[in-house]
Amino acid sequence: MFDSGVGGLSIALELLKQLPGERIIYFGDTANVPYGEKSESQLIALADRITFFLVQKGVKAVVDACNSTSSVALDYLKERYELPIIGVIEPGVREAIERTKNGRIGVIATTATIMSSAHKRAAQKLDPSVKVFGQACPKFVPLVEAGKVSCKEAENACFEYLMPLVKKRIDTLILGCTHYPFLIPVIRRIVGPEVAIVDPAVGTIRELKEILEKKNMRKLSQPTGFKEQEYYVSGDPILFKEVGEKLIGTSLGRVFRVAIDDKIIENIKNGSAG
């Protein structure tokens, strides 16, 4: 599982609920966060390098827990690697379509994800009658990465980004970035109780579960917690651990720093990704 930083821990939390016997190898690319302002080619390159690292670690499936890379790199990764790779775009859109009553769906995400129109394309494929309204929220990821999820700064940012969607009369809101579930209490205060908030984590892990069961790959063993998983980051492991534990409310165990270096890049260029 990988993300630009701590956001993917919201997906990891759901994985440990639905698939309690599985083990997670998590990579947070904190040296390059935020992903939302990067170009498509940069996002594909980063996703490729990280996926290669995870494949070398012997994983049986990869969850791209980042909407920015899921929106532009998922098809590339699926073609390049033989193991199952699951993104977070379609599961969230599918649930939003099921829950909307007026057919007006809002999406909050990074600039890169909104510019890709990935949620709109997925919605058109699933139900052309719905209308999707996107809103880029560039301040959200830095706030979450700093652990600032309930301060005045977070509230001001939520008001700035969400009010335009409220005025569009949306009745369903997709959290189009895995960092955003940590802001749900503030988001809820802005959009009100009548708007359904869709966290794609549930649908994403449900899809992973179905794939593992279909391929007879699901591990049925004793449940594990966050402390028993493996964590790697490209930036500061101490900061990742501190912020991550604050957000999820439990110990992450040990976090290792790994640079996605030139050797890994060269292996990818030589086509030895597996």
Nearest to 221 by CA among 86, 84, 21, 47: 21
- For residues 30 and 239, the answer to whether their CB atoms sit within 8 Å is yes
Residue 219: the pLDDT is: 86
Residue 30: the pLDDT is: 96
89-199 CATH fold: Rossmann fold (3.40.50)
Residue 263: the pLDDT is: 61
Residue 272: the pLDDT is: 52
C-alpha distances in Å from residue 199, one per residue of 92, 135, 235: 7, 16, 27
pTM here is 0.88
The active-site residue out of 137, 151, 158, 177 is 177
User: CA–CA separation, 176 vs 135, rounded Å?
Assistant: 10
Residue 66 annotated as catalytic: yes
Residue 265: the pLDDT is: 55
**What is the residue-wise DSSP string for 88-143?**
SHHHHHHHHHHH-SSSEEEEEE-HHHHHHTHHHHHHHHH-TT-EEEEEE-TTHHHH
The active-site residue out of 66, 137, 151, 158 is 66
User: CA–CA separation, 182 vs 44, rounded Å?
Assistant: 26
| CATH architecture, domain 2-88+202-269 | 3-Layer(aba) Sandwich (3.40)
- In the chain, CATH 3.40.50.1860 covers 2-88+202-269, 89-199
Residue 158 annotated as catalytic: no
| Residue ranges of the chain with per-residue pLDDT less than 70 | 261-274
The three-state DSSP-derived secondary structure of 18-67 is HCCCCCCEEEECCCCCCCCCCCHHHHHHHHHHHHHHHHHCCCCCEEECCH
